[in-house]
């Protein structure tokens, strides 16, 4: 085999190895980016969900208190109205 | 969840590799060579990178099979437009995969095929690659993302440039220069 041909094959092997390494690296980079973005959006969704649950529960508690006041019955807020806030805050 | 990320990432990398393979294929026909290297280097790179692309396409397909969200079945991998999720776009991916498989198998069996048959099958790459691009834009979750759009546009530009360079720009003899008319 001539030197030129030998160098050519070596060139092909080296370029293929570089391309394979680059492809694997880029795949890992993109997949990692997706994972980070996915975790980020999941975290944002959880925060938004927590805020929504808290707002709903606060409104429910207010309604319960208002209703009991209008009935003229002195009654402390029930445990059922208070517990979801604690539950949602703890998750 | 990991297979979902790997599937999307290998899909993008497969598109880039298939683009490189297509460009190198056109460069081989054009008898282009990198620097002072012999011409067979272009052909060798075309062959080895096509096998590398097949590996990444295979990972893309296998992870799609295992991912419950994509809902890709063995049938939809082999038969176009049989998928339940985004049937058209996933189906185009299947068409591209089948064509790539035909091109690779015919190249591996080239000794047993006539040049005409092999060439005819190999020309299917001009269908397979654009179909893969459309599959990326249609089925890709990140198709609207700027980085993926930019990557796709770069891939299209690379193949368009290579294909245009293959076109014979001078058809027929050069136009004859007319003798200046003498006006009285």
What's the pLDDT at A56? Answer: 59
Residues of B with CB under 8 A from a CB of A: 1-2, 4-6, 8-10, 12-13, 16-17, 20, 34, 37-38, 40-41, 44-45, 48-49, 52, 56
pTM of the model: 0.75
Q: Contact at 8 Å (CB) between A57 and A84?
A: yes
Average pLDDT on B26-38 reads 81
What's the pLDDT at A59? Answer: 60
Is B92 buried (19+), middle (13-18) or exposed (0-12) by CB count in 10 A? buried
CA distance B85 to B66: 14
Cα–Cα nearest to B129, from B153, B97, B102, B107: B97
Interface test with chain B among A12, A37, A40, by most B beta carbons within 10 Å? A12
Give chain B's count of helices (H) and strands (E): 7, 0
Mean pLDDT is lowest, of A10-24, B24-38, B99-113, B116-130, for B24-38
Q: Contact at 8 Å (CB) between A91 and A51?
A: no
CA distance B125 to B52: 16
CA distance A53 to A75: 24
Mean pLDDT is lowest, of A2-6, A83-87, B125-129, B136-140, for A83-87
| Length of chain B as a residue count | 184
Q: Contact at 8 Å (CB) between B91 and B83?
A: yes
Beta strands (DSSP E) in B109-153 are none
Q: Contact at 8 Å (CB) between B91 and B109?
A: no
Residue B171 has pLDDT above 70, yes or no: no
B140 CB-near residues (< 8 Å, 6+ apart): B8, B11, B12, B148
Average pLDDT on B52-56 reads 96
Query: In this complex, is the C-beta atom of A4 within 8 Å of any C-beta atom belonging to chain B?
Result: yes
């Amino acid at each position: 085999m001539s030197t030129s041909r030998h160098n050519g094959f070596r060139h092909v092997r080296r370029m293929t190895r570089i391309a394979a390494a680059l492809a694997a690296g880029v795949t890992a980079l993109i997949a990692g980016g997706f994972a980070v973005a996915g975790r980020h959006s999941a975290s944002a969704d959880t925060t938004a969900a927590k805020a929504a649950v808290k707002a709903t529960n606060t409104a429910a508690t207010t309604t319960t208190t208002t209703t009991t006041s209008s009935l003229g019955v002195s009654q402390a807020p029930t445990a059922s109205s208070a517990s979801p806030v604690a539950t949602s805050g703890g998750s | 969840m990991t297979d979902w990320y790997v599937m999307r990432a290998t899909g993008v990398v497969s598109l880039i590799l298939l683009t490189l393979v297509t460009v190198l294929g056109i460069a081989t026909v054009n008898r282009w060579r990198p620097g002072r290297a012999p011409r067979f280097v272009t052909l060798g790179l075309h062959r080895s990178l096509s096998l590398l692309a097949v590996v990444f396409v295979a990972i893309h397909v296998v992870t799609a099979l295992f991912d419950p969200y994509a809902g890709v079945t063995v049938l939809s991998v082999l038969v176009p437009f049989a998928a339940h999720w985004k049937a058209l776009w996933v189906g185009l991916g299947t068409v591209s995969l089948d064509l790539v498989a035909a091109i690779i198998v015919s190249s591996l069996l080239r000794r047993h095929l006539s040049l005409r048959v092999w060439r005819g099958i190999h020309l299917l790459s001009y269908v397979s690659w654009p179909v893969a691009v459309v599959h990326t834009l249609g089925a890709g979750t990140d198709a609207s993302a700027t980085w993926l759009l930019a990557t796709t546009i770069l891939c299209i530009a690379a193949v368009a440039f290579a294909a245009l360079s293959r076109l014979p720009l001078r058809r027929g003899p050069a136009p004859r220069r007319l003798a200046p008319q003498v006006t009285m």
